[in-house]
Amino acid sequence: EPEVTQTPSHQVTQMGQEVILRCVPISNHLYFYWYRQILGQKVEFLVSFYNNEISEKSEIFDDQFSVERPDGSNFTLKIRSTKLEDSAMYFCASSPQGSVGNTIYFGEGSWLTVV
């Protein structure tokens, strides 16, 4: 079964450093998403992306966050100046279309630890 792949699986970074998390969505999918899950808490929506632009973003997705689709296969989340509270599991997801009934597939996540 096709899957969303994410790299790295785990990254430790110093506070204030920039981090880029990478994702390869399922190949024929058009909609891409980032979610995060702080340890012990629920999964939270960050941003959705379609046709090379942000469709929707949450209050969490402030100016320190950005997303990009630099080529035909990768989808990245950049955190410009990491904070301790950015420590979380970050999930990339994708769906074939952006309409009800289209399954949203999640990757296995990238665990970010900010020290």
Interface residues with other proteins (CB under 8 A)? 4, 31, 33, 35, 41-45, 48, 55-56, 58, 91, 93, 95, 98-109
Q: How far is CA 84 from CA 21, 38, 64, 96, in A?
A: 17, 11, 13, 34
Residue in this structure with the two tokens 């966050």, named with its chain if needed = 65
Provide the minimum distance between the beta carbon of 109 and other proteins in the complex, in angstroms, as a whole number. Answer: 5
Provide the minimum distance between the beta carbon of 70 and other proteins in the complex, in angstroms, as a whole number. Answer: 20
Q: How far apart are CA 57 and CA 11, in angstroms?
A: 24
Angle at 11 between CA 56 and CA 47, to 5 degrees: 0
Q: Which is nearer to other proteins, 19 or 46 (CB)?
A: 46
Provide the minimum distance between the beta carbon of 14 and other proteins in the complex, in angstroms, as a whole number. Answer: 25
Q: Which is nearer to other proteins, 18 or 56 (CB)?
A: 56
